[in-house]
Amino acid sequence: MQALLRRLANRDRVQSEATLQADVRQLLLSGGLNLAEHDLEVDLETQVGDRRRIDIEIGFTAIEIKKSLRSAAVLRDAERQLHGYVTTRSGQVDQPYVGILTDGATWRAYRVQGAELALASEHTLKATRPDGTALLLWLEGVLCTQRDIPPTPVEIARRLGATSTSYYLDRTELANLYSQNANLPTVQLKRQLWARLLRTALGTQFEDNDALFIEHTLLVNSAEIIAHLVLGISVTDMQPASILRGQRFDQAQIYGVVEQDFFDWVLEVPGGADLVRTLARRLSRFAWGEVEHDVLKVLYESVIETETRKRLGEYYTPDWLAEQVVTETVRQPLASRVLDPACGSGTFLFHAARRYLEAADAASIPLKQALEGLTRHVVGIDLHPVAVALARVTYVLAIGRDRLVSEERGAIGIPVYLGDSVQWTQRQDLFDQEQLVIRTGTGNQLFENELRFPDHLLEDAGRFDRLVTELADLAARPRQRGTTPSINALANRLAIGPEDRPGLDHNFRVLCELVDEGRNHIWSYYVRNLARPMWMSRPENRADVMVGNPPWLSYRHMPADMQQNFRELATNLGIWQGQEVASHQDLSGLFIARTVQQYLASGGSFGFVMPNAVLDRAYWRNFRTGKYLDPFGPVEVDFATSWDLRRIRPHFFPRGAAVLFGKRASSRGAKELPRETIRFIGKLPRGTQSWQTVRQHLSKAEARLSLVDETLIDSPYKTRFENGATIYPRILFFVDIQQAGPLGLGRGRTSVRSTTSSNENSPWKELPRLEGVVETEFVRPVLLGESILAYRSLPPRHAVLPIEGSKLLSAETSTIEPYPRLTEWWSQAEEVWASNRSTDRLSLLDRLNFRNELIKQLPGTPLRVVYSKSGMHVAACLVDSPNVIIENTLYWATVTTREEGWYLCAILNTPTLTDLVRPLMSYGKDERHIDKHLWKLPIPLYDAANPTHRRLAELGAASAERVANLDIDMSANFVTLRRRIREHLAASPHADELEEIVVGMLDQ
């Protein structure tokens, strides 16, 4: 096999296409592609017609082979030829074909897109150590010939994710179908409804574009096919419409898993059914019955790009965390109704359902009773239509195939609903006189425009959903306009009592009128889904436990109408902070207050994953009180404890996370969130899933939170420290000093050549370097961020800077003219700047002295403390050369005495300084911008009369001497050197004393 791969990858081989064709055939036959099991022949020179022949045909794939595809002309001709083969063959067998072009080294897969051949995926076999596994995986994604692939996260990502051949082919085909049919009214309507819901759910972070709609369609259709496969239902011989409308589930009396939604538009366009068949064939390769986790989350995160998920705030909770939150909150699974009001892909539902079923098994509860109990006790709601589709399948996965195929099972409905848990705009009068009332706007007589259902029908969610669905379906059947058929058979089958029959007849007449008016598309969906949150908000129907991860949506990312509603609701509840922190307000806090208010029974418990800022930020202060005084229904919360997850690496969300636990308190029972927390610390391995795997990598410890008050008075040193100069672009200023030639340069001159770095942006890093000789006094030493270690600096860099004393020289003022060598260098630099700058607004001198950052340093002072701008650990040292220029990646301040300098260095270099600043820092993927938050600590001005200050200065001087005597490799990476010095200082006999003084002075 390796010899075969080397032959294929060798672009310089001299062989015929027939030889290459034979090698490709051998690869297909001997590569473990499982062809025999599918009765697939690898046919050579297959007749197409018109005396044309396909080089290799296998299944529904045509492979065209060329000696080389490196020539653009050859590639164009080969694509034209392949297009003819694929188009003709597709028409002959009424099945979409995939085309492959290859020269052995390059492999290109194509789909027909309109009248063109669209490249869907490409793979290159490297000449050195060719990777046969990767190539065969690529080919298998086209051929779909493997069987019983384990549905692990790794296999799902590599065979179905956004980098897989399968994904590229199917997405290309789906995009083609959408582009050809986007103007169809039914497609437009479903896309508009999709966009409207997502804008409500995600705010301005949602970008309404076709690409995301196509990806969501692919995801949901895949999830609905997987739902069938989990139960062992073969989908390869099913009609596509039966799959996407869940007919087999309805026949099996498993309701609410797959239903008509925004994404079944593919069934209504030419070619859509073929795409569904292809998806079914691809997904059937997996052994879905073996799934043991929330696999749909993995599929979602594999398909939707990281940047898209980040922008939309769509980061699903890790299984291990959801499992632990459920374990902590659901103490009596058989007796507790559990609700996840923002269920996402269903991770919390999965673990809550498993916990219930394990308890039912332990209690020997019969299966029929256990499943009926489960669907009453574990419920999910979400506003995101894709999330709901995925969560319904996840719920099925949690139940498992064995239970669902058992003859002991009765009828069940999957209780996951598309609904607005916050109820931004939903009417509060949806229930009137013990009836669910839906106004439809049709009819002329009193109450004729309303659908009314007795609220007791909603108690059995499965039966109610079937009732509404079948009523709507029956109303939509062809009939003579203006007539209303009988619904007695439906009422009898669903055991609707005689007292409810008149109301049912009325509802059916209204639905028939809606059909006649062409307005029947929304009512079944609306009644079944959006009514459920309102029903659950009634006191007698509320949950005993709520768990989940509410939406993390900042106020600044909400659309204007949502901001107005948010502010009104948050003000009513007493959690609006406003003023300068308004933009930081987060929907997650309002979400918890509203859902506890509406859906949690008195004394009921909750556990919610939240942004870590909730633990200590001032703009969460009112929320942490647990007292929400809404005039329409005050609610009080008894916060129990919290988990601080900020120290876990890597972060699993774009911001640090926390978990809040508590319960809904009775009147005057509010209890503020305790300052004490459980802090999780550790580094997680890749691909972790269960708590059993994760627990050995994490430690837990009790900790006390330091609350951040944005009104704290800053340290007086804040105004003394300045940011260094932005010397940009570097290639025009930074230089390497060159050796003088054999004749020398003359006194006071230095030969220089400009230098750049990998961090330089385009176009500067591609430009040729400047060379020249300049007067030595203008070659100034410059300290960068990477130059500074704790108590010590590395050798400075050099830069040509037009500085004389306390001023900058310029051609405009003729001050540069007395220095001909500097003038010559500066003229070259200005010419390069003028040719490549992105704006005419700044001259080169203005750019160099941006915000006066350079002129502030002139003339240099003899003693300055500098510290680094980036990194989680501050590095600071004392600089005693007035000639040195401080660059922008450092901060600097003049000190009057060395003692003051050592005092500041002792504080800034203390190992626990990061821990002291952390509560004050912004939360991102990691805590960030430590440089901007240092001076929020109460660091007092140095006072020589204060013995604590004097002792800190002594310890700082001793530490500086210890570091100066340390033998270090000056060429090593500065990050490595900083770490080594921190370790060296930690072993100092004065380390504990220094740290004790600093912590005692600053931890207030």
- Find the domain containing 549 and state its range: 543-704
pLDDT at 970: 82
What's the CATH number where 80 sits? 3.90.1570.30
| Contact status, residue 891 vs residue 869, Cβ threshold 8 Å | yes
Total domains in the chain come to 5
Shared domain for 372 and 485, answered yes or no, is no
pLDDT in tens, 372-387: 999 999 999 987 888 8
**Which helix or strand (DSSP H or E) is residue 392 part of?**
helix 385-399
Residue 711 lies in a domain: no
Q: Is the pLDDT of residue 446 over 50?
A: no
What integer is the mean pLDDT of 96-124? Answer: 88
Distance CA 725, CA 808 (A): 13
**Closest-CA residue to 550 (of 385, 391, 417, 383):** 383
Q: Which two tokens stand for residue 910?
A: 């203390």
Dihedral sign for Cα 947, 948, 953, 957, please: positive
What integer is the mean pLDDT of 552-565? Answer: 78
DSSP state of 796: P
pLDDT in tens, 308-325: 665 555 667 889 999 999
Residue 56 lies in a domain: yes
Q: Is the pLDDT of residue 923 over 70?
A: no
Shared domain for 547 and 525, answered yes or no, is no
pLDDT at 529: 65
pLDDT at 308: 62
Residue 489 lies in a domain: yes
Distance CA 592, CA 574 (A): 13
Distance CA 213, CA 304 (A): 11
Cβ neighbours around 250 below 10 Å, total: 18
Residue 275 lies in a domain: yes
Shared domain for 253 and 300, answered yes or no, is yes
What integer is the mean pLDDT of 853-868? Answer: 94
Residue 709 lies in a domain: no
| Contact status, residue 416 vs residue 261, Cβ threshold 8 Å | no
What integer is the mean pLDDT of 384-406? Answer: 88
**Closest-CA residue to 344 (of 405, 299, 391, 295):** 391
Q: Which two tokens stand for residue 192?
A: 């508009």
DSSP assignment string, 905-940: HHHHT-TTHHHHHGGGSEESSSEE-HHHHGGGS--P
| Contact status, residue 520 vs residue 514, Cβ threshold 8 Å | yes
Instruction: State residue 117 phi and psi, 5-degree precision.
Output: -105, 115
Return the amino acid letter for 936. Answer: K
Shared domain for 866 and 973, answered yes or no, is yes
Q: Which of 516, 536, 556 is the last residue of a domain?
A: 536
What integer is the mean pLDDT of 682-711? Answer: 81
Distance CA 76, CA 850 (A): 52
pLDDT confidence of 925, banded at 50, 70, 90? very low
Shared domain for 413 and 443, answered yes or no, is no
Supply angle C-alpha 569, 575, 580, rounded to 5: 105
Shared domain for 501 and 580, answered yes or no, is no
Shared domain for 522 and 623, answered yes or no, is no
Chain center to CA of 474: 42
Instruction: State residue 682 phi and psi, 5-degree precision.
Output: 160, 170
3-state secondary structure of 31: coil
Q: Is the pLDDT of residue 834 over 60?
A: yes
The pairing of strands 890-894 and 722-723 is: antiparallel
Q: Is the pLDDT of residue 152 over 80?
A: yes
Which residues partner with 659 through β-bridges?
609, 643
Shared domain for 798 and 825, answered yes or no, is yes
**Closest-CA residue to 691 (of 355, 324, 152):** 324
pLDDT at 444: 42
What integer is the mean pLDDT of 458-468? Answer: 79
pLDDT at 447: 40
Residue 112 lies in a domain: yes
What integer is the mean pLDDT of 677-700? Answer: 85
pLDDT in tens, 621-651: 999 999 988 766 678 999 999 999 988 877 7
Q: Is the pLDDT of residue 28 over 70?
A: yes
Shared domain for 805 and 847, answered yes or no, is yes
| Contact status, residue 708 vs residue 920, Cβ threshold 8 Å | yes
What's the CATH number where 628 sits? 3.40.50.150
Q: Is the pLDDT of residue 425 over 60?
A: no
Supply angle C-alpha 155, 156, 160, rounded to 5: 120
Q: Which of 679, 704, 729 is the last residue of a domain?
A: 704
Supply angle C-alpha 19, 21, 23, rounded to 5: 70
**Closest-CA residue to 866 (of 813, 797, 791):** 791
Return the amino acid letter for 403. Answer: R
pLDDT in tens, 875-914: 999 999 999 999 999 999 999 999 999 999 999 999 888 7
The pairing of strands 657-665 and 635-649 is: antiparallel
| Contact status, residue 810 vs residue 816, Cβ threshold 8 Å | yes
Supply angle C-alpha 612, 614, 616, rounded to 5: 90
Distance CA 913, CA 931 (A): 12
What integer is the mean pLDDT of 276-301? Answer: 82
The pairing of strands 797-800 and 779-783 is: antiparallel
Distance CA 297, CA 955 (A): 53
pLDDT at 978: 92
What's the Cα-to-Cα distance from 741 to each of 455, 738, 752, 768, rounded to whole Å? 97, 9, 12, 22
Q: Which of 502, 536, 570 is the last residue of a domain?
A: 536
DSSP state of 370: H
Q: Is the pLDDT of residue 219 over 60?
A: yes
The 3 state secondary structure assigned to 276-310 is HHHHHHHHCCECHHHCCCCHHHHHHHHHCCHHHHH
DSSP assignment string, 820-869: HHHHHHHHHHHHHHHHH-S-SS--HHHHHTGGGTTGGG-SPPS-EEEEES
Q: Which two tokens stand for residue 311?
A: 């922008």
Mean pLDDT, the chain, integer: 85
Residue 713 lies in a domain: no
What integer is the mean pLDDT of 736-755? Answer: 86
Name which residue leads in pLDDT, 578 or 632.
578
pLDDT at 546: 98
Q: Which of 35-49, 813-827, 987-1001 has the lowest mean pLDDT?
A: 35-49
Shared domain for 531 and 641, answered yes or no, is no
Distance CA 267, CA 247 (A): 14
DSSP state of 733: T
| Contact status, residue 635 vs residue 608, Cβ threshold 8 Å | no
**Closest-CA residue to 563 (of 204, 195, 192):** 204
Distance CA 412, CA 998 (A): 63
Name which residue leads in pLDDT, 134 or 1000.
134
Q: Is the pLDDT of residue 430 over 90?
A: no
Name which residue leads in pLDDT, 637 or 7.
637
DSSP state of 527: I
Shared domain for 411 and 442, answered yes or no, is no
Name which residue leads in pLDDT, 465 or 345.
345
Shared domain for 129 and 230, answered yes or no, is no
Distance CA 786, CA 796 (A): 10
Residue 237 lies in a domain: yes
**Percent of residues, the chain, with pLDDT higher than 70:** 90
pLDDT in tens, 947-976: 999 999 999 999 999 999 999 888 888 999
Length of the chain: 1004
Instruction: State residue 919 phi and psi, 5-degree precision.
Output: -60, -20
Q: Is the pLDDT of residue 783 over 90?
A: yes
